[in-house]
């Protein structure tokens, strides 16, 4: 094809998220996935609350739909995410057994899940968002920390490595660029994992006006200096971080600024040494599908395509960065 994102990015994957319902719906949605992207993640259906909804019951059905589509269309799959405090099923939050039983349950979950997808999912976010934004960027409080101790992250990576030694294992977090103190805490956590980790995921939920290129570059530099793969894992660029009310006017005025920011981010990613390149994943296809609308409760236009599946200026910016 000519001028598609995946063709323009010659030495890294261009990722998108999806849902089983989008795959099953077909039409323009799946046509665009096939045309532009060569890495796929599940938006929420490969998280613990969906895959392990009750004790002894696994449900990989939605993930299987996404993985089968990816395989049919020569796309890699990045598994997102095994352990995340925000997607923990209530039976796990309320686990009644001993700490040892809890840890055995987590090992079984990671092992069973990775075995199910073995050979089909190239890489996994093993733990997502373990570092707090406040409290000196300490380990975030969670049932996993309570039950398994402060080295629960290392334990989960060990379980994952044992389950599928061929899978690439990532730690994933946000505010990796915008907060120097959180960045230091994330790299400190990563350093404690030694050979159990293969890559760092920087979510990249950012805005048209920040973080600065130098802050994004600091994430890359820290990752490259540790000889890890770099995943820009959840890129979206808010045009309305001020939660302005004059939204239609703002949408058009901000288009060019958003284009410039997409270009900047892609330029930084593209300049990474080839051995550290992995994938740049955009967190949503059309503006109207973005999680940010609900999360912030205001209109925004954070993605590459509008609700009619038409390319935005941001798409041009992405290509300009390559």
Task: Give 36 or 43: the residue with its C-beta nearer to ligand XIL.
Answer: 43
Kindly state the number of chain residues that form the binding site for ligand XIL, as judged by CB under 6 A.
Answer: 6
Task: Give 230 or 313: the residue with its C-beta nearer to ligand XIL.
Answer: 230
Q: Which of residues 221-280 bind ligand XIL (CB under 6 A)?
A: 234
In a 3-state reduction of DSSP, which class is residue 138?
coil
Identify the CA nearest to 16 among candidates 74, 76, 72.
76
Identify the CA nearest to 14 among candidates 279, 310, 285.
279
Measured from each CB, the residue nearest to ligand XIL is: 291
Cα–Cα distances in Å, from 84 out to 207, 243, 261?
Answer: 24, 28, 29
In a 3-state reduction of DSSP, which class is residue 62?
helix
**Structure-block tokens of residue 140:** 């975030």
Interaction of residue 44 with ligand XIL, rule CB under 6 A? yes
Active site residue 242: no
Active site residue 129: yes
The rounded distance, in Å, linking the Cα atoms of 321 and 49 is 37
Interaction of residue 128 with ligand XIL, rule CB under 6 A? yes
Please tell me which residue in 234, 264, 294, 320 is annotated as part of the active site.
234
Q: Which helix (H) or strand (E) holds 83?
A: strand 83-84
Interaction of residue 291 with ligand XIL, rule CB under 6 A? yes
Task: Give 24 or 214: the residue with its C-beta nearer to ligand XIL.
Answer: 24
- φ, ψ of residue 56 in degrees (nearest 5): 70, 10
Interaction of residue 88 with ligand XIL, rule CB under 6 A? no
Please tell me which residue in 36, 43, 45, 129 is annotated as part of the active site.
129
* Secondary structure (DSSP) of 235-254: EEEES-TT--S-HHHHHHHH
Interaction of residue 43 with ligand XIL, rule CB under 6 A? yes
The rounded distance, in Å, linking the Cα atoms of 195 and 173 is 19
Closest approach, Cβ 90 to ligand XIL, in A, equals: 16
Catalogue the active-site residues: 129, 234
The residues that touch ligand XIL, with contacts defined as CB under 6 A, are 43-44, 128, 203, 234, 291
């Amino acid at each position: 094809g000519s001028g598609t994102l995946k063709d323009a990015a010659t030495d890294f994957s261009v990722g998108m998220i999806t849902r089983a319902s989008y795959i099953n719906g077909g039409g323009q949605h799946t046509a665009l996935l096939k045309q532009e992207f060569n890495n796929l993640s599940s938006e929420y259906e490969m998280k613990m609350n969906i895959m392990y909804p009750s004790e002894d019951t696994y449900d990989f059905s939605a993930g299987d739909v996404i993985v089968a589509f990816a395989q049919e269309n020569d796309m890699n799959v990045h598994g997102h995410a095994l352990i995340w405090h925000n997607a923990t099923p209530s039976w796990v939050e309320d686990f009644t057994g001993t700490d040892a039983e809890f840890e055995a349950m987590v090992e079984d979950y990671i092992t069973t899940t990775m075995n199910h997808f073995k050979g089909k999912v190239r890489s996994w976010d093993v733990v997502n968002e373990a570092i707090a934004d406040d409290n000196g960027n300490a380990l975030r409080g969670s049932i996993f920390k309570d039950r398994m101790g402060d080295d629960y992250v290392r334990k989960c990576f060990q379980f994952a490595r044992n389950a599928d030694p061929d899978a690439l294992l990532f730690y994933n977090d946000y505010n990796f660029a915008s907060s120097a103190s959180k960045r230091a805490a994330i790299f400190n956590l990563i350093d404690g994992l030694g050979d159990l980790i293969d890559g760092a995921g920087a979510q990249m939920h950012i805005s048209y006006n920040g973080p600065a290129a130098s802050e994004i570059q600091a994430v890359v530099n820290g990752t490259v200096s540790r000889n890890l793969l770099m995943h820009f894992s959840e890129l979206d660029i808010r045009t309305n971080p001020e939660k302005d009310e004059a939204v239609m006017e703002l949408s058009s005025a901000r288009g060019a600024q958003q284009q410039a920011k997409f270009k900047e981010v892609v330029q930084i990613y593209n300049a990474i040494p080839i051995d550290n390149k992995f994938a740049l994943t955009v967190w949503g296809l059309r503006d109207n599908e973005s999680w940010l609308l609900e999360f912030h409760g205001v209109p925004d236009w954070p993605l590459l395509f509008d609700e009619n599946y038409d390319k935005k200026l941001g798409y041009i910016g992405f290509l300009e960065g390559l």
